[in-house]
Amino acid sequence: MFLIDLLNIVFPVFFIILIGFIVGRYLGVNPKPVSDLCIYVFSPALFFYSVTTSSLNFSDLGKIALFGVSLFVLFAVLMNLISFFFKWGPSYKNAMMLASAFPNAGNYGLPILMFAFGETGVTIGIIFAVIQSLLMNSAGIYYASRNEETGFSQAFSNIFKMPAFVAILLAIFLKLAAIQVPSALSNPIELLGNAAIPALLTLLGINLSNINVKSAMSFITMATTFKLIVYPAIAFLIIGFFYPLDSLWAKVLILSSATPTAATTTLLATKFELKSEYVSSAMFVSTVASLATISFLLFMI
């Protein structure tokens, strides 16, 4: 029963990716304009609407934020050590971070939490998803734009040039201040936000149509292993510092951390020309492989 529900979540993702693959392979569509539309219009609208209309419980925000940031920092330190050992260049290391450090805790994770833990689990998951969105639109932008030619200050400044980061901060402020967005403004933002996920997945398919699988196999294997095994393993090791291991909070946060690579990584990799075919392939493979890893994790917890 669970496998059927999981397939119902994942199959639409694969179907839209397939459409993008066909468009990219046979129509030769340039992914850059699609990427720009997502970055400057669809994604900011999605993040803003999701936060302003969600049932966020801000009394729990601090603890979950500390867990999310701690998990990310520890993983980043590990990746730096591995990068030093294997002598990866900046672009390769940052592409690996982009492909393995940002879980798809929102549109993939929340339906799974609803199935496994009900509304209570989703409420916790939404907070974690918002934290991941902030990390993606800050640290993710930094990693995507940092390469051999781009220095620290320029990569850092890119964070504040991306409207999604500003949209999330503004939405959190409005939520904290209990300011309701008027329907005349909220409705068109919702419509624009609804286009984000299909556009992102179509972009992923377009990028996949241009990849040489053999040349990317090593990257894809490592990124998938890091995302689906190493990342949640670190989450498991540190969750006890925040919540009891047998608590609903711990189970939700570990499961959310174990979700595959977020689709937004493809968007950022395309925007900043950071091995977008590699990152897209890693996102696709991690999503396929998560059918097994998520099922196993749910059985264990």
Q: What pLDDT is attached to residue 165? A: 84
Q: What pLDDT is attached to residue 69? A: 96
| For range 178-205, the mean pLDDT | 89
Q: What pLDDT is attached to residue 132? A: 92
pTM here is 0.84
Tell me the C-alpha distance between 119 and 258, whole Å: 19
| For range 239-262, the mean pLDDT | 94
pLDDT interval class at 56 (50, 70, 90)? low
Residue 53 exposed, middle or buried by CB count within 10 Å (0-12, 13-18, 19+): middle
Q: What pLDDT is attached to residue 187? A: 95
Tell me the C-alpha distance between 229 and 166, whole Å: 32
Nearest to 297 by CA among 25, 1, 2: 2
Q: Is the pLDDT of residue 123 over 80?
A: no
